[in-house]
Amino acid sequence: MGLGAYIAVSAALFALGIVAILVRRNVLYVLMGIEMILNAANINFVAFNRFNHAEGSQSNLDGRMFAIFVIILAAAEAAVALAIVLNVFHLFNSVKPAEADLLRE
């Protein structure tokens, strides 16, 4: 399996994430779309790390380190975002982003 297969899977996952963000009107689906986009980036990091290593390089872990950093960032983002969603649900009794319009004033 070549680099093109990884890029195709990553592009499909990225497109599904964008569609989930734009189409869904539920904050939880939007968060899942963001997670899909971050996972698409992780697939790209690891795939390019695997197929584009430099000759004579001592460390071939750059893409994997970026992927681990993105996973840690996604875990922190999910924790903070879920706390915000729970607070919004407590205040507005809804998880739809359009109904939380108190900040517009």
* Average pLDDT estimate for 48-74: 78
Q: What residue segments make up the domains of the chain, in order of their start? A: 3-104
Distance, CA of 6 to CA of 83 (rounded, Å):
34
Architecture of domain 3-104: Orthogonal Bundle (1.10)
| pLDDT band at 6; cut points 50, 70, 90 | very high
C-beta separation of 63 from 49 below 8 A: yes
Maximum alpha-carbon separation in the chain: 59
Give the chain's mean pLDDT. Answer: 85
What percent of the chain clears pLDDT 70, i.e. is strictly above it?
89
C-beta separation of 27 from 100 below 8 A: no
The tokens of 76 are what? 């922190």
The tokens of 11 are what? 């592009």
* pLDDT tens column, 86-95: 888 888 888 7
pTM of the model: 0.79
Single out the residue of 75, 76, 48 nearest to residue 64, CA to CA: 48
